[in-house]
Structure 1
Amino acid sequence: MSRVVTVRDAATTALLRDGASNGLEVLLLRRHASHVFGANAYVFPGGALDPADDEAELRARCRGGAEIIEETVGDNGFALAMAAIRECFEEAGLLVACTAHAEVMPARREALRHALNTQTTSWAAIVTELDLRFDLDALAFFAHWTTPAGPPKRYSTRFFAAAAPPGEARCDGLETTHVWWAQPARAVAAHDRGEIELMTPTRATLESLAGYADAAAALAALMDATTVRVP
């Protein structure tokens, strides 16, 4: 008798920047080899929705974009956008689509990230300590992919894009083990040669991004409401 696998809501973010001499680059993280789902695959920062991603305190700190996100994403739109932001901090150490108004030392910020990853603190507590303000206008929702039946885990994942914030992306050693700012076409070619593993939605996104010369052009296109969203 086959086991019914629950489809979980999730969010992921393609972080875009212009390389020193390579044009458009996108952040890819290699998933840990121990993962049941997508082991060793290069992915965008992302993960499953947490019920706490829809807390009223987080909404109160949003300066703009919440209504548009909820209209374009649909059910759980705000919470999914918040999950995308939270996962960027968890998996890459980057604060995306938000500004910290409290000054903390880099060591303290990294300690907070570790505590979040080990579930010894909450995202809401970190948001309060860093005094974050969210700008969801900086997020572009551009795709929705659902894992087909078969794998031991299934996700209904909303894909966002954002300009990469200042700072160094760092893998956490728990969920992710390698950081690669990749030219989209180069990453696709490496996958086709069998050098790296890409899941279908990641590869499709990279193929689409390969058509843009720089981060601004790519993000502007993804912000366009006419951008095709894959079911």
Structure 2
Amino acid sequence: MSGAVAVRDAATTVLLRDADPGGTDGLEVLLLRRHGSHVFGANAYVFPGGAIDAADSDPALAARCISGAEQATTEGGAVGLAAAMAAIRECFEEAGLLVGCAARGNEGQRDALRAALNDQSRVWRDVADVLDLRFTLDDLRYFAHWTTPAGAPKRYSTRFFAAAAPDGEARCDGHETTHVWWAPPAEAVAAHDRGEITLMTPTRATLETLRAYGNTADALAGLVETAAVLRA
């Protein structure tokens, strides 16, 4: 019997914001500390993300897209649209933020819906229906694809997206994530190198890249440009 670990498709979102409204005090990126009970990446600081669920491919979700669906399919291949949906869903589950979409329904149910997603009593389509979400997938900038190497207890083929952080406060859920840090990229890398925090390889590499940018607009443009060059 083979002991090989199956590779699951996944998605993650690098949420960026300017440290000040004028965009002159530097860039910050959302990092979440994973719960210590996780088999994979326990206590590591990560971007919001996770495995793509079968429900992320629901045609009813695609029907709610008002922009970016074709681009997501072109950039992400067969799982492109589902990857974008998973990236948005995971941001909501793990950080409580709605990115790449606008809610036109009952905002008062957001917390209850988030809790239901996390305990798996509801799926992403339910949330989209109740909140009457309209997806703008071109708000997500696809820029990288990492696959966990052989030997890890879990393996993922992960599409990386970047996006400007939406309005609202990021809040950990206490189960998947236990701490929120809006980190200047250079500070996060330095903390890792001093042994104060744990960063997985793709997270550290992304933060290293982001050190070169002083604001959100430049970072998004730079990530997309670099990705285009690598794909050429």
Please tell me the TM-score bracket, short chain as reference.
Answer: over 0.9
Provide the aligned C-alpha RMSD in A: 1.3
1:91 equivalent to 2:94? Answer yes
1:116 equivalent to 2:114? Answer no
TM value normalised by structure 1: 0.95
Moved over 3 A (4+): none
| CA–CA distance in structure 1, aligned partners of residues 78 and 229 of structure 2 | 19
Matches within 5 A, 1:47-58: 47-58=50-61
1:190 equivalent to 2:191? Answer yes
**Deviation string for 1:71-114 (max 9, x for gaps)?**
11112100001000000000000000100011422xx2111101
What is aligned with 2:228?
Answer: 226
Q: Which amino acid aligns with 1:157?
A: T
What is aligned with 1:171?
Answer: 172
| CA–CA distance in structure 2, aligned partners of residues 122 and 54 of structure 1 | 11
**Deviation string for 1:18-44 (max 9, x for gaps)?**
013741000000000000000000000
Q: Which amino acid aligns with 1:15?
A: L
Query: What stretches of structure 2 of length at least 5 have no aligned partner?
Result: none
Tell whether the 8 Å contact from 2:106 to 2:130 is kept in structure 1 after alignment: no
What is aligned with 2:140?
Answer: 139
| Higher mean C-alpha deviation, range 38-47 or range 61-70 | 61-70
User: What is the CA-CA distance between 1:190 and the residue it aligns to?
Assistant: 0.4
| CA–CA distance in structure 2, aligned partners of residues 89 and 181 of structure 1 | 16
| CA–CA distance in structure 1, aligned partners of residues 52 and 123 of structure 2 | 14
TM value normalised by structure 2: 0.95
Q: Which amino acid aligns with 2:93?
A: E
What is aligned with 1:181?
Answer: 182
Q: Which amino acid aligns with 2:178?
A: T
| Higher mean C-alpha deviation, range 144-153 or range 21-30 | 21-30
| CA–CA distance in structure 1, aligned partners of residues 181 and 35 of structure 2 | 14
| CA–CA distance in structure 1, aligned partners of residues 14 and 140 of structure 2 | 10
Tell whether the 8 Å contact from 2:34 to 2:42 is kept in structure 1 after alignment: yes
SS at match of 1:63: strand
**Deviation string for 1:58-77 (max 9, x for gaps)?**
00000111111111111210
Go from structure 1 to structure 2 and tell me whether the alpha carbon gap of 1:83 and 1:227 turns closer, same or farther (over 3 Å shift). farther
User: What is the CA-CA distance between 1:220 and the residue it aligns to?
Assistant: 1.5
| CA–CA distance in structure 1, aligned partners of residues 185 and 222 of structure 2 | 16
SS at match of 1:121: coil
| Higher mean C-alpha deviation, range 57-66 or range 14-23 | 14-23
| CA–CA distance in structure 2, aligned partners of residues 154 and 174 of structure 1 | 21
| Number of residue-to-residue matches in the alignment | 227
| CA–CA distance in structure 1, aligned partners of residues 218 and 91 of structure 2 | 22
**Deviation string for 1:153-187 (max 9, x for gaps)?**
00000100000000000000010000000000110
Query: What stretches of structure 1 of length at least 5 have no aligned partner?
Result: none
The alignment-based identity, stated in percent, is 69
What is aligned with 1:61?
Answer: 64
What is aligned with 2:73?
Answer: 70
